[in-house]
Amino acid sequence: MGVRSMRGQLDASTLLDASTLLDAKQRRPRARRAVGWTTPAVLLLGALLPAVLLLGALLVAAGCSWTESPASGSEVSDAPAASISAADGTESGAAAEQSPASTAPPAPTPTNAGVHVGRFAPGVANEASGVASATGNPDAFFVVDDPTGTDGVVAVDANGSLLARIGVAGMSAGNAEALAGGTCGTTPIAVSGEQPAVGARCLYVGDLGDQIGRDHITIYRFAEPALLPPPDEPVPADAWKYTYPDQPQDAESLLVDTDGSLLIITKPAHKGKAVAPHRVYRAQPGGGELRQVGEFSPPKPPVALQSLLTGNVVTDAAAAPGRVLLLTYDQVVEYTAPDPTAPLATFFSWPQRNLPMPEQIQSEGIAPTIDGCGYTIVSEAGPGGGAGSIAVVHCR
Q: What is the pLDDT of residues 214-270, one digit of tens each?
A: 889 999 999 999 999 999 999 999 999 999 999 999 999 999 999 999 999 999 988
Q: How many whole angstroms separate alpha carbon 182 and alpha carbon 348?
A: 20
Asked if the model's pLDDT at residue 29 lies above 50, the reply is no
Give the residues across from 99 on adjacent strands. Answer: none
Asked if the model's pLDDT at residue 154 lies above 50, the reply is yes
DSSP 231-244: PSSPBP-EEEEEE-
Q: How many whole angstroms separate alpha carbon 299 and alpha carbon 296?
A: 9
Which pLDDT score, from 0 to 100, does residue 105 have? 61
Asked if the model's pLDDT at residue 52 lies above 90, the reply is no
Which pLDDT score, from 0 to 100, does residue 376 have? 97
Cα 139 to the center of its chain, rounded Å: 19
Give the CA count within 13 Å in the CB-facing half-sphere of 320.
19
User: Quick one: what percent of the chain has pLDDT higher than 70?
Assistant: 72
The helices-and-strands tally (H runs, E runs) of the chain is 6, 22
Count CB-CB contacts under 10 A for residue 197.
9
Cα 86 to the center of its chain, rounded Å: 24
Which pLDDT score, from 0 to 100, does residue 384 have? 65
Q: Give tens-digit pLDDT for 168-217.
A: 999 999 999 999 999 999 999 887 778 898 889 999 999 999 866 788 99
Which pLDDT score, from 0 to 100, does residue 45 have? 36
Which pLDDT score, from 0 to 100, does residue 340 have? 93
Q: Give tens-digit pLDDT for 352-372.
A: 999 999 999 899 999 999 988
- Write the DSSP symbol of residue 194: -
- Length of the chain as a residue count: 396
